[in-house]
């Protein structure tokens, strides 16, 4: 496979953008608790912060996006910009795939914040896809942190690198705990 034909499907939250770090700050405000009381190490669903229902999560998420501009205020995960630029410069096609439109009635804010964040942080991409079924975008390599998405993509026979965090420690290799490891794994796959 030549590098010029390889499409890399890259998730944003937890892979390029520090979703958990920013959401922790917003959740502390939402729950009116000191941020140090909310653990940094969380599981999928954020139950460690006291979120026990989908409705609670949806309310917090809506507040985070509409009142605190979550998607434009997250820090970049170290190395994401550097290694995505390297891969892009080497001829790989970067396709951002995110499922940020899962709560109705504020899609315009979510899309605008996403584009602003990508552009202001210099993240290279050819395509930007907002969709739940990530396997449908036709990437050759996926970089994902959601345990469910990793398993779903792999079950369809798609090469998926699990970007490591506290929500997915149980997911087996291929894994990457840094963007340097992502880069090395992508280069090894491309041969």
- Report the C-alpha gap between 19 and 177 in whole angstroms: 16
Q: Which tens digits make up the pLDDT trace of 121-130?
A: 999 999 999 8
Domain's final residue, options 30, 48, 73:
73
Residues 179 and 112 occupy one common structural domain: yes
Q: What is the pLDDT along the chain (191 residues), one digit of tens a residue?
A: 445 689 999 999 999 999 999 999 999 999 999 999 999 999 988 999 999 999 999 999 889 988 999 899 999 999 999 999 999 999 999 999 988 666 666 777 888 889 999 999 999 999 999 888 898 889 999 999 999 999 999 999 999 999 999 999 999 999 999 999 999 999 999 88
Residues 64 and 107 occupy one common structural domain: no
Q: Which domain holds residue 45?
A: 19-73
Segments of 92-176 assigned E as strands: 93-98, 127-130, 141-144, 159-163, 175-176
Residues 102 and 185 occupy one common structural domain: yes
pLDDT at 39: 96
State the CATH number of the domain containing residue 94. 3.40.50.1000
Q: Is 184 an annotated catalytic residue?
A: no
Q: Is 127 an annotated catalytic residue?
A: no
Domain's final residue, options 30, 54, 73:
73
As for how many domains the chain has, the answer is: 2
Token look-up 């922790």 returns: 24
Q: Which tens digits make up the pLDDT trace of 148-181?
A: 999 999 999 999 999 999 999 999 999 999 999 9
Helix H or strand E segment including 9: strand 7-10
User: One of 13, 18, 140, 145 is an active-site residue; which one?
Assistant: 13
pTM, rounded to two decimals: 0.91
Residues 141 and 186 occupy one common structural domain: yes
User: One of 11, 18, 140, 145 is an active-site residue; which one?
Assistant: 11
Domain's final residue, options 30, 56, 73:
73
């Amino acid at each position: 496979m030549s590098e010029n034909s390889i499409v890399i499907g890259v998730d944003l939250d937890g892979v390029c953008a520090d979703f958990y770090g920013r959401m922790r700050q917003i959740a502390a405000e939402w729950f009116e608790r000191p941020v140090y009381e909310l653990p940094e190490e969380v599981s999928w669903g954020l139950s460690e912060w006291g979120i026990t229902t989908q409705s609670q999560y949806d309310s917090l998420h809506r507040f985070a996006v509409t009142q605190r501009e979550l998607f434009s205020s997250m820090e970049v995960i170290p190395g994401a910009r550097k290694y995505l630029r390297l891969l892009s410069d080497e001829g790989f096609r970067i396709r951002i795939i995110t499922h940020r439109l899962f709560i109705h009635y504020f899609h315009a804010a979510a899309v605008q914040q996403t584009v602003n964040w990508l552009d202001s942080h210099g993240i290279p991409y050819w395509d930007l896809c907002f969709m739940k079924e990530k396997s449908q975008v036709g990437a050759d390599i996926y970089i994902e942190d959601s345990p469910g998405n990793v398993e779903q993509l792999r079950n369809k026979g798609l090469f998926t690198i699990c970007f490591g965090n506290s929500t997915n420690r149980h997911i087996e290799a291929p894994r990457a705990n840094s963007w340097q490891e992502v880069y090395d794994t992508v280069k090894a796959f491309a041969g």
